[in-house]
Amino acid sequence: MTLPRTATTFAPPVMEARRWLDGVDFSDRPLINVSQAAPVDPPPLAMRQAMAQMIVEMDETHLYGPVLGLPDLRAEVAAQWSTAYSGKISPQNVAITSGCNQAFTAAISTLCAEGDEVILPVPYYFNHRMWLDMAGVKTVPLQAESGLTPSAEDAAELITNKTRAIVLVTPNNPGGVEYPADVVAGFAALAQASGIALIIDETYRDFDSREGAPHDLFKDPAWQDTLIQLYSFSKAYRLTGHRVGAMVASPERLAEVEKFLDTVTICPNQLGQHAALWGMRNLGDWLAGERLEILDRRAAIEEQFPRLASLGWELEGCGAYFAYMKHPFEVRSDDLAKDLVKQAGVLTLPGTMFMPDGSGQQHLRVAFANVDRAGITALFDRLVDYQP
């Protein structure tokens, strides 16, 4: 009997982790939740006030809109991206999607048939793997020789006549690493030479520690032949519940994307799109402050980590919203993560959720975007005291 598509993949990891909380009493020790890489606060007050006015005064926020998104938002993305990356990006290169996850699913749907292959560096973002499973596409894991930064040379050995794309996430989820510009350029050159797509997910670009553009891909006049960039407004403006993402690609690619989007959501959330546009035009200084706060929390993780390092832990990656840690215990990380809830009041995700079956048994991902410096200190206090 052939399995339905949804039965070919695993349960959503964040939802699974939340079930570990059932029946656990946190009255004496509040839960420290570092499991989900999404803001838990609402958008800033000024944006919410603008959105309230939109709901009352802009009828279009309640109606269908263009499948590929609000024209003014597409134009704003194109203009700001052209400046940020010193490249030539037109509104026709931009599609607005119902979150960045949908941008990925749309891209894969335009690239792959059943039985095709896509290369994912490991550890990978689990929703990418889940969609490939459900689409009947084989995930080809790309191991990094050292650290968490993959190499194009290693990827070249994995390319077959069924390979359709390589996917990079930078800054990385779950590893937190920021891929150097020359590494990204090497992957772009490999994709171009191989006639495949390079999908670069820059959901966390607003929290990159580097100044200026993180890569030069859009400077290449032929970037549209190879590159598909994905982005999320959820992280920048806390619009998680409004589901607004973006894809930058060739107009020919977006014509195919339009077919997919029209059959799934018809159009992105109208209020969320107008809010994203308002944010892009009005919240530059606020977003710069948010970036500095995230960078400070990253620094707090790095400052605290020697306490764990002395106990045998290793910090393999730290950046954007994430710290990726190797624990010293003779316990599978999925079992360890469940025990941390009960014994330490800490909810985190195990490395097994970001790796092929049987891998990731010594790693934990800590998402620190919603934990301030005091919370990070408390987190390390609990991890230092913990014994399985």
Query: Which mean pLDDT values do the consecutive 10-residue runs of the chain (388 residues) have?
Result: 87 90 90 89 96 96 97 98 97 97 98 97 96 97 88 97 98 95 97 98 96 96 97 95 97 98 96 98 97 96 97 95 95 95 95 87 93 95 94
User: Would you say domain 45-283 falls under CATH 3.40.80.10?
Assistant: no
User: What pLDDT does residue 56 have?
Assistant: 97
User: What pLDDT does residue 37 have?
Assistant: 82
User: What pLDDT does residue 10 have?
Assistant: 87
Strand partners, 118: 139, 165
The SS3 call for residue 347 is: strand
What is the rounded distance in angstroms from the CA atom of residue 241 to the CA atom of residue 375?
25
What is the rounded distance in angstroms from the CA atom of residue 234 to the CA atom of residue 99?
7
Kindly report the pTM of this predicted structure.
0.95
Tell me, rounded to whole angstroms, the distance of Cα 171 from its chain centroid: 8
In order, the DSSP letters of 7-46 are GGSPPPHHHHHHHTTTT---SSS--EE----S--SPSPHH
User: What pLDDT does residue 220 have?
Assistant: 96
Q: Which tokens go with 324?
A: 């990726």
User: What pLDDT does residue 38 have?
Assistant: 80
User: What pLDDT does residue 40 have?
Assistant: 84
User: What pLDDT does residue 281 have?
Assistant: 98
What is the rounded distance in angstroms from the CA atom of residue 203 to the CA atom of residue 369?
14
Domain ranges of the chain: 5-42+286-385, 45-283
Task: Return the closest-CA partner of residue 84 out of 299, 231, 276.
Answer: 231
Q: Which tokens go with 228?
A: 């598909």
User: What pLDDT does residue 21 have?
Assistant: 92
User: Fold identical between 5-42+286-385 and 45-283?
Assistant: no
What is the rounded distance in angstroms from the CA atom of residue 121 to the CA atom of residue 181?
16
Written out in words, the top-level CATH class of the domain with range 5-42+286-385 is: alpha beta
In order, the DSSP letters of 261-292 are HHHHTSS--HHHHHHHHHHHHH-HHHHHHHHH
User: What pLDDT does residue 3 have?
Assistant: 82
- Helix, strand, coil percentages for the chain (3-state, nearest 5): 45, 15, 40
Q: How many CB atoms lie within 10 A of CB 243?
A: 20
